[in-house]
Chains A and B, each alone.
Chain A
Amino acid sequence: MKKELGIFLLLVALCAITAFINPRFLSQTNLTNMANLIGLFGVFSLGLGLVIITGGIDLSVGSMCALCGVVMSMALTEWHLAWPLAVLAVLIIPMSLGWVHGALVTKMQMQPFIVTLCGLLLYRGVARFIANDDTKGFGGGEGFETLRSVASGKLFGLPMPFVTLLIIGTILWVVLHRSVYGRYLLAVGRNEEAARFSGINTRRVITGAYVIAGLLTGVSGIMIAFYTNSVSPSNHANSYELYAIAAAVLGGCSLRGGEGSIVGIIIGTALLQVLQNLVNLLGIPSSLNFAVMGAVVLLGVMADQMLQRRAARLVVH
């Protein structure tokens, strides 16, 4: 809890400073827009967060998102599938890919970094190939108005992606912090061998995390596709996995596994989006966008490490 508090205070401070310098930060348009982005990035960051808790990593998230976007668009506008079928396909594909990642990591004992790096290259290539490298869109959008409003509409004035993040976040909070599966995830991430000696099927637990990550990437993929409304396969959702990793680490996940919280990952995602917004609103050259993000993540993790070391010393004495 303490860990989330630190980064939450950082988030509040950044918001306060930005709002103070440029009151437009608090305008309804800006807040709605930001909430929308937090929702879009938060959902897949949560999935990747679970994978990181097992001690793994998933670098293929961005490419998977692009593949989902391409398939979604083509299914609706070119293959004329009914939208529920298209949605089903776009959820099943990334889940199966996640299962393959999990199987390769647990059964073949391959390193998650390599497995998902190959995924990154492979799915991007497949997305470009099936789209013939053409930008895909959703045209007039006949026949799937419901889907569009669910994916990119509003509920009680809140953008749907943000609502989705809140719902999924709540479910995952229960899963990670209250359920048997969540306890197994943390146990496997901390000491896989001891978990195995306690009778836990560690392979299934780890594979499960990759499948959930795939599912959430699919959900994000649909929403992102409707948000951008056009999917250019070569750079759609490019390097989004890095945002997710940054958010998870900022939110208290350790890349060594065994640590992390849902609230932390969501706050981490929010922090990254506020930073981008801040760059725009404060008139910082947008070329510095990434530099600001990199510096804040670095400082945040550094400060956290120093505080923890101090806390550890206090315990010893």
Chain B
Amino acid sequence: MQWSAFDDPVHDSQRAYRQLLSTMAEPGTVEDMLESPLRPEDAAIGAACWATLLTLCDLDTRVWLTPELAAGGLGEGLRFHTGSRLVDTPAEADFALVTPATLADPTRVFNEGSDIYPDRSTTLLVVLERLDTEGPWRLQGPGIPGFRRLGIGEGDALMSRLAANQSRFPRGLDAILTCGARLAAVPRSTRITSSRVEEADPCMSQ
């Protein structure tokens, strides 16, 4: 099986984009994307990640792929369907396809934009083992009435990178989270705390 494009490029990508826009506008909400388009059996990325790449990438975007996700010829598939340029260093990329393990490596530096043009930053496209609304991560900020919870499995490296956004705002990294066909987003405006730390607080005050 090969990497395939959307059956209906105009309307399928519009539908996928609205899900992306809605998850970015309301961080911590999880959307289920359509199972199509198809990917090779040995692909390391799910339907939501592939649909996001097909929706947002074209010949104007630079993409960096972490080596552990390149299985099944993803690089060639992406170049063929979108015309995106693959770059060698993550700091050059508009979109970086990563896992929490990639982010645990501190030598992986991404583009955070500048104070004058904070929009010229890398968007992380994160492939996760788990993605749901129950977990230790507490999100607050624009798009969130009160707070929302997010569970992402072994994602401490991801969340510590995103939590660091707060001290650099408006510079920062925005993350689109995917797990199979599930989609969520954490923009740089979101304030992240871990309830594990909060639970530890009473002990410390004793």
Partners in one complex: no
